[in-house]
Amino acid sequence: MAPSLDFSDWWAKETRKGTPVVVTMENPNYSVVEIDGSDAAFRPVDKDRGKNAKQFTWVLLLRAHRAVGCLTWVAGVLWALLGAVKKRLIFQQGVTVESEKSSKGRLLFRLIRGFLVVSLVILAFEVVAHLNGWHFQRPNLHIPQTLEIEGWVHLVYLMWLSFRTDYIAPLIRALSNFCVALFLIQSLDRMILCLGCFWIKYKKIKPRIEGDPYKSEDVEGSSSNYPMVLIQIPMCNEREVYEQSISAVCQIDWPKDHLLIQILDDSDDESIQWLIKGEVSKWSQKGVNIIYRHRLVRTGYKAGNLKSAMSCDYVKGYEFVAIFDADFQPNPDFLKQTVPHFKDNPELGLVQARWAFVNKDENLLTRLQNINLCFHFEVEQQVNGVFLNFFGFNGTAGVWRIKALEDSGGWLERTTVEDMDIAVRAHLNGWKFIFLNDVKVLCEVPESYEAYRKQQHRWHSGPMHLFRLCLPAIVTSKISFWKKANMVLLFFLLRKLILPFYSFTLFCIILPLTMFVPEAELPMWVICYVPVFMSFLNILPAPRSFPFIVPYLLFENTMSVTKFNAMVSGLFQLGSSYEWVVTKKAGRSSESDLIAAAERESKTLNHPQLHRGASESELSELNRLKEQSEPPPPPKKTNKIYKKELALAFLLLTASVRSLLSAQGVHFYFLLFQGVSFLLVGLDLIGEQMS
């Protein structure tokens, strides 16, 4: 509950009976003791009794010291926050204000700003009512006689109470009941997924392969049984990560005459192109079958790049294709852990591996992302893979049967979620999927909020755009009714549309409004119990992240603004629904990679003439070309200010003040912490900080 100022318990002690006997010692260092009756001396004595003035003074000093310490800590936090605000807003050091590209984005910001203005006006009105002694609880709406009305302000206040009870409260209750129903349905879906995951763990259900099915006893023809595998690495201006991804893929354990690596470079920076060409040339001279490919007409983003690569004549004889994004580093045994699942399983179209993150402990933002993605892989994809043989392709760290891609129409450029698009079309054509939770591929998660925000916008606008395009094909497909229902109701509507809708509407709009309309107040279990329980379920796959359960709950509500914005953009094809922004990478490496790099550096210092497997003439030519075309200095990285998040922060903090005045307990704390969370995100104080 909110801080209480009720001191009635202090004065409610029972009156002591009996004849009091007061014994006073001459020595002032001894205490004054009261004895009530014959056995009073043997009863427990209150802690605050039996103390002289000197001891009582020390107790007061200790309590004052503790209070000053708490106030100092709070003041330090506020001072640091004000310092960050000063740096962001006043001096504008490294700050750019987020620009609203779409009319819908501007409309949403204006709507939130309108709610904020109205809330501030109502709060001022309620403060005046509070100072005049009018009640904040559910009022008696009978307007008294004229003599009982204390001026025109009191009359207007009573009219406002009557209006909000008759007209505003029913609308808010209806909308909140609808959102709570959606909330409970989505929570039930999460619980069923978690139960499915527990069942998989209990029964130890997982796809298995027995040894190496392609290994032959004939030494001379030992590689003839291995299928032809194509590996594709699409990239675009990936200066930070191109080297480690190419190096990892080139070290995959697979017969060289049955493996082809395509580096699909869409970079528009010539200096990056030369760097990638040099890396490809180095591995090519080591005997790796690797090809560099650069498109002159770069349309269709990643889907266009993959589609163009699959049209090459030299890939016609390949049976499987493995796809890795530029920041992924597969282990050498990746293909031997994935491709054998296709043997004697002609209906299998996709084998998807799990992601693992080298920078999950870099900052608070990466830790919170790790919680979400661990639940996505270990619960959502594993359960759907085991019980339904269908889930959304993650776009990377997966192996496709090329025949499944061709039967499903190949890569299409119609959305920004080409991975989900091809997975849906393949499922409609009867192909099955397998998810391998034990096979992990190292990669990165965004370290800055700007990169994470853009990534989430694409991940939530693309599915809604795809849903509009695929709905007729789903309805007319030949798959069973239950599979159609699962794809429409669960895969698209519940997990892609309903989740961001109720999260934003219920916790960011309705909850602060109910503070000014207490007749529509949300129950405690909606605000506290169910969200905490669902956050507990979400965090189970990442048990080391349990200390971050409260920041995770607050941050998920904060991200609902971006997800809701993206969902509406994709559903109605507004603004940036078909916009692809390459996620920024930091080029983090695993601990083993760092050790190997240190060893290479020490060897280079001891042997300065070592040129890493490339001829001296090629390296000198490459260095000469680099010097002739020195790349321009990279643009200065800046932190941004996000207006919608800031407006919602002030709306929630305003509602928390109103909740404090009416002593609504948990509502006050939730609104306060949620408002601070929005404030930190709006000022871009979470994630990577630019100097």
Q: Note whether 492 and 146 are within 8 A (CB).
A: no
Strands 33-36 and 20-23: antiparallel
Collapsing DSSP to helix, strand or coil, 230 comes out as strand
* Cross-strand partners of 398: 323, 352
User: H helices of 629-664, where?
Assistant: 643-661
268 is catalytic: no
Q: Taking the CB of residue 587, how many other CB atoms lie within 10 A of it?
A: 15
Residue 443 parent element (H or E): strand 432-443
Cα 681–394–388 angle (5° rounding)? 115
Report d(CA 321, CA 265) in Å as an integer.
17
In angstroms, the Cα distances linking 72 to 2, 4, 68, 84 are 21, 22, 6, 18
Cα dihedral value 575, 579, 584, 589, nearest 10: 140
Q: Note whether 361 and 367 are within 8 A (CB).
A: yes
In angstroms, the Cα distances linking 504 to 106, 548, 676 are 17, 21, 16
Report d(CA 643, CA 683) in Å as an integer.
9
Q: Note whether 125 and 152 are within 8 A (CB).
A: no
Terminal-residue alpha carbon distance, the chain: 40
Q: Tokens 């990056």 appear where?
A: 272
Cα-to-chain-centroid distance, residue 242: 25
List, edge to edge, every strand of the sheet that includes 398-401. 290-294, 259-265, 229-235, 320-323, 398-401, 348-357, 432-443
The backbone torsions φ and ψ at residue 152, rounded to the nearest 5 degrees and listed phi first, read -70, -25
Q: Taking the CB of residue 199, how many other CB atoms lie within 10 A of it?
A: 13
Q: Note whether 508 and 671 are within 8 A (CB).
A: no
Q: Note whether 363 and 594 are within 8 A (CB).
A: no
Residue 124 parent element (H or E): helix 103-131
Count helices and strands (H / E) in the chain.
Answer: 23, 11
Q: Note whether 443 and 325 are within 8 A (CB).
A: yes
Query: Of residues 266, 325, 327, 684, which has the active-site annotation?
Result: 266
* Cross-strand partners of 432: 348
Query: Of residues 265, 327, 419, 421, which has the active-site annotation?
Result: 419
Q: Taking the CB of residue 239, how many other CB atoms lie within 10 A of it?
A: 18
Which residues fall within 8 angstroms of residue 627, CB to CB, at 6 or more apart?
none
The tokens for 148 are 């009982």
* Cross-strand partners of 441: 355
Cα 621–622–625 angle (5° rounding)? 85
In angstroms, the Cα distances linking 99 to 10, 71, 80, 326, 501 are 57, 38, 27, 28, 23
Q: Taking the CB of residue 243, how many other CB atoms lie within 10 A of it?
A: 18
Of the candidates 317, 652, 629, which has an alpha carbon nearest to the alpha carbon of residue 511?
A: 652
419 is catalytic: yes
- For the chain, the residue count is 691
- B/e letters for 17-36, b = 16+ CB within 10 Å, e = fewer, are eeeeeeeeeeeeeeeeeebe
Q: Note whether 348 and 341 are within 8 A (CB).
A: yes
Q: Which residues are catalytic?
A: 266, 419
